[in-house]
Structure 1
Amino acid sequence: MAHRAVWIRGAALGLALSGLWIAHTQQAPPEPLDLQHVKGPLHALIGSGGNVSVLVTDEGVVLGDDKFDRNFTEIVAKVKTLSDKPIRFDLNTHHHGDHTGGNEQMLSQGTEVIAHENARANLVRGQQKGPQPLTFSEQLTVHAGGEEVRAIYFGRGHTNGDVVLYYPKLRAIHTGDLFVTGAPFIDYANGGSAVEWDDTLNAVLQLEFDTVIPGHGAVSTRDDLVQWKENFETYRERVSELSRAGKSAEEAIAAVKVDDLKGWSKDNRLKNGMAGLLQELR
């Protein structure tokens, strides 16, 4: 597997930043963020968009994602309650604006923002304004204050540019939207795949971890991820039967059973992904 390592002290990435990204703003005031201790130097900011992982070290702070642009000031303020060190790195789990909306402001304060090459391509295609993140293809490691964060690309799932952040010393991962507490959204417009998602999660489960920061929802366990994966498999099997029966997206949404899948409902995530899922499973 191709691999790159980045050391906070004396890091010389030397890569050009370019391109555009879409600003994701909303009229409603942002939901207050809940700063939670996960384990050791690892924390999480929950609420108002995608979850943010916060690794505190004596050489700087390493974030996983940065929510919407409107959350930037509060994220920085919450981080300052944990450390007076700068936010040195911000690792994007994928390109969606509720996870990358703060990229431009992070870059403007000197934070190095890093994403998978497919995530950057999705940002560029979406014409999102501001400088674009540095990229990698398969794996990148950040070393900071004796801690290690590995950003690993296992394959397609929620999009074609999802990475998992792995904290080996802490036996913890941040999955982005490869795992959420609720129904999944398969972003077919940006390379998502329900079939390959299963393979991707199988690879994730080869890592040694017991704690999971999901893309959305409460901090979870390995067992929670395993159960969610099994629920997703059940859902795919049910939709596959409807696909073989020639059902339309509307008919499939009406017919598919999800009330026995913990935390799932027939919300917009399932509705918006159904047409693509039926086509993929045919």
Structure 2
Amino acid sequence: MDENPASQWTSAAQQAPQDAKFFWTGGPVEVAADTWFASLGSGVTAFATRGGLVLVDTGARLFAGGIADRIRTRTDLPVHTAIYTHGHIDHAFGLESFLVEGQGAPQVVAQERMAERFARYERSPRHNATVNSRQFGGREDDPTFQGEELRFGFPTYEPTRSYQHSLELDVGGTAFELHACRGETDDHTWIYCPERRVLCTGDLIIWGVPNAGNPQKAQRYPWDWAAGLRAMAETGAASLCPGHGGPVVNDPRLVRRILQDTAAFLEEVVERTLAVLEDGSPPHVDVVRRVELPRSEAPWLQPVYDEAEFIVRNVIRYYGGWWSGRPSELKPAPRADVAAELAALSGGPGRLLDRAVELAPRNMALACHLADYALEAAPDNPVIAEGVAALYTDRGARESSLMATNLYRSAAAGALSRLPSA
């Protein structure tokens, strides 16, 4: 993997500060003739054709209106076809905002597994709302993720046409090639328009370490993801429209490099993890510690959202099952019982917390283990709750990935929620 980032940028998005890549908001950027990209929360690509507008993704209900307003400064064509790259709510739930008055329902195309995803969402709405409250809000009850606009379930416009492996579409004489690729999800599609040399990757590219290890979400597939990226690199695409962040415009060398670098990163994580698993299948925590994580200076491979350690854990989950490998954890005692026993052995929950605070400057990970046990042994003690919250607030501030930052912030908020005034 090439360790040196590209020195020349070819679009306004690429001139943004490094930490703004994943969160880039802007557009419409003309990525090819009659083709525009805009992003607010996630990206949407609009292709004007003689048959009408083709949209790749439609944003979330919460943000789709803002994206549509941007796109509509360039075209007033009715939407002929919407292609969902995958079924996440920030990509497949905002189509109604793009429709023009009086137009009929558009064709909606997606990979065939998307229906199963929406059915899962319908069965676990409260769970999903809590998970996303933690991940994006840094607390378990963020009201933004409890409301209708970010509700999981079936989108207003469900797919009307599905495919399994690949599909060729023609809309008004413009061809679109759709390819299934398990990656962040099992229902993912990437799209290439050969006439305009525009590649739409969905979340297979997000201007950061790939979201292949999300701690709270379903299985990811980094090996298939890497193969898909290498197939994309062979298209000869000149412009790249990602799931998050800004586009690459008319720079085929940079497009190819981003795709190949990201593929190599994922391949290295997978191969290094399997090598340790093959060395006697040690307990999972030991596998994680023994894997040498790949690193890159490239701006498209920074841990701003997900991170390599989490990808290792996802590889282990796929190949190694749910058991950690520790015999005591096969059928473990209740955590509260373990916490009470450790507190008794150490002189009480307060002593556990004191030791955690003492350890924090030199070993924050170990300190947090002790803090957890202190809180679980004395869940109603406000002094311990405040101390634990302070530790997790500090730990969250030290992290680079949004996932780790917000999960630690959520832990701090959860500890404080035990206080009488909370």
State if a TM-score over 0.5 links the two structures. yes
Q: CA separation in 2, counterparts of 1:279 and 1:181?
A: 25
Q: Which has the higher strand share?
A: 1
The answer for the alignment partner of 2:192 in structure 1 is 166
Q: For the structure 1 residues 244 and 216, does the alpha-carbon distance in structure 2 shift closer, same or farther, using more than 3 Å as the test?
A: farther
Three-state SS of the structure 1 residue aligned to 2:38 is: strand
How many angstroms does 1:126 deviate by?
1.2
Three-state SS of the structure 2 residue aligned to 1:216 is: coil
Aligned-residue sequence identity (percent) comes to 21
Superimposed CA distance per residue, residues 208-248 of structure 1 (whole angstroms, 9 cap, x where no aligned partner): 42322122223231222112212222333343445456364
Q: CA separation in 1, counterparts of 2:116 and 2:224?
A: 20
The answer for the alignment partner of 1:43 in structure 2 is 36
- Which runs of structure 2 are paired with 1:67-86 in the superposition (5 Å)? 67-86=59-78
- The aligned amino acid for 1:162 is H
- Scaled by the length of structure 2, what TM-score is found? 0.52
- Which runs of structure 2 are paired with 1:134-145 in the superposition (5 Å)? 134=160, 135-145=162-172
Three-state SS of the structure 2 residue aligned to 1:213 is: strand
- Which runs of structure 2 are paired with 1:74-223 in the superposition (5 Å)? 74-103=66-95, 110-127=105-122, 128-129=153-154, 130-134=156-160, 135-153=162-180, 155-186=181-212, 190=218, 192-220=220-248, 221-223=255-257
Farther-moved stretch of structure 1 (56-65 vs 202-211): 202-211
How many angstroms does 1:107 deviate by?
7.9
Gaps of 5+ in 2: 1-22, 123-152, 249-254, 321-422
Q: CA separation in 2, counterparts of 1:250 and 1:73?
A: 47
Q: For the structure 1 residues 209 and 138, does the alpha-carbon distance in structure 2 shift closer, same or farther, using more than 3 Å as the test?
A: same
Three-state SS of the structure 1 residue aligned to 2:168 is: strand
The answer for the alignment partner of 1:10 in structure 2 is none
Three-state SS of the structure 2 residue aligned to 1:222 is: helix
Q: CA separation in 2, counterparts of 1:106 and 1:143?
A: 20
Q: CA separation in 2, counterparts of 1:268 and 1:227?
A: 17
The answer for the alignment partner of 2:315 in structure 1 is 277
The answer for the alignment partner of 1:15 in structure 2 is none
- Scaled by the length of structure 1, what TM-score is found? 0.75
Gaps of 5+ in 1: 1-29
Contact 2:213–2:313 at 8 Å: present in 1 too?
Answer: no
Q: 1:227 aligns with which of 256, 261, 264?
A: 261
Q: CA RMSD in A?
A: 3.1
How many angstroms does 1:43 deviate by?
1.4
How many angstroms does 1:169 deviate by?
0.6
Q: Which has the higher helix share?
A: 2
- The aligned amino acid for 1:156 is R
Task: Report how many aligned residue pairs link the two structures.
Answer: 251
